[in-house]
Amino acid sequence: MDPSVSAEWLRQRLVRPGSVWTGVSTVASTGSTNADLAAAARGGADSGQVLVSDHQSAGRGRFARVWEAPPGTSLAISVLLRPPAAVPPVRWLWLPLLAGLAVADGIGAATGVGAELKWPNDVLIQGRKVCGILSERVDSGAGPAVIIGMGINTTLSSDQLPVPTATSLALAGAGVEPAEVAAAVLEALAGWYLRWLGGHDLRPDYAARCSSVGRSVRVQLSATESVQGEATGVDTDGCLLVEVDGRVRAFAAGDVAHLR
């Protein structure tokens, strides 16, 4: 990705009066786009900043998992948002779910490939992971912010996949133009974010796209604790609802495995 070209192209497409997005930067390579934007947030950066790269040398997932893909085979998109103070912190649980909806929408718009969601942080194509999402809160003198990172496997080949259960857009048969994918994802995320700010009930939208809902799942809560049951939906705060031994429980976090 040529930063001097792609950044300007993305800015022209995304940054306009009244837009969620206020600034776009691209870099050919970085340690972590999330870490870069977190530092910017601590320095008082405005809401709506976007950072895009097609190579991270120290990308992170949940539970501080570190991963790296060969240069040019994945797309790292991170955004900095500052929800208004009137939004209760508990509703921030929805933000990674909104990102999942946006990635699925953006992949569909840019490539025509259908995608589904696995609560809370994964986007799947035919049951295989094509994107992971990491949402992080950052507190500073400028007030709280959230950094949402989306790592999309674009052109990874089968022998480059980090795990056998992963996939890429290319392996799914898509022609991949990274800038188009990034723009489509960000346009979709802006729309979902504005709906969320407006107080819309997003549960039906999410449940309709989430392959976790309506199936048996195992929720791994820690290295030694897990529960198993049927996922029935998400609640108003974005927690996964799972019927366990005849009682519905709500989970705000946890690794979910889909069971046959």
Give the pair of three-digit tokens for residue 60: 């992170």
Question: Parallel, antiparallel, or unpaired: how do β-strands 216-220 and 23-27 relate?
Answer: unpaired
CA distance 99 to 92: 12
Sorted by sequence, the CB contacts under 8 Å of residue 129 that are 6+ apart come out as 118, 122, 123, 153, 163, 165, 166, 167
Question: Parallel, antiparallel, or unpaired: how do β-strands 23-27 and 128-138 relate?
Answer: unpaired
Q: Are 93 and 238 in contact (CB under 8 A)?
A: yes
Give this prediction's pTM: 0.93
Q: Are 227 and 184 in contact (CB under 8 A)?
A: no
- Report the candidate in 77, 75, 240, 74 with the shortest Cα–Cα distance to residue 148: 77
CA distance 10 to 148: 18
DSSP, res 64: G
The CATH code that applies to domain 213-258 is 2.30.30.100
CA distance 86 to 191: 19
Chain segment 202-254, per-residue pLDDT in tens: 999 999 999 999 999 999 999 899 999 999 999 999 999 999 999 999 999 99
CATH superfamily, domain at 3-206: Bira Bifunctional Protein; Domain 2 (3.30.930.10)
Same CATH topology for 3-206 and 213-258: the answer is no
Chain segment 5-52, per-residue pLDDT in tens: 489 999 999 999 999 999 999 999 999 999 999 999 999 999 999 999
- Domain spans of the chain? 3-206, 213-258
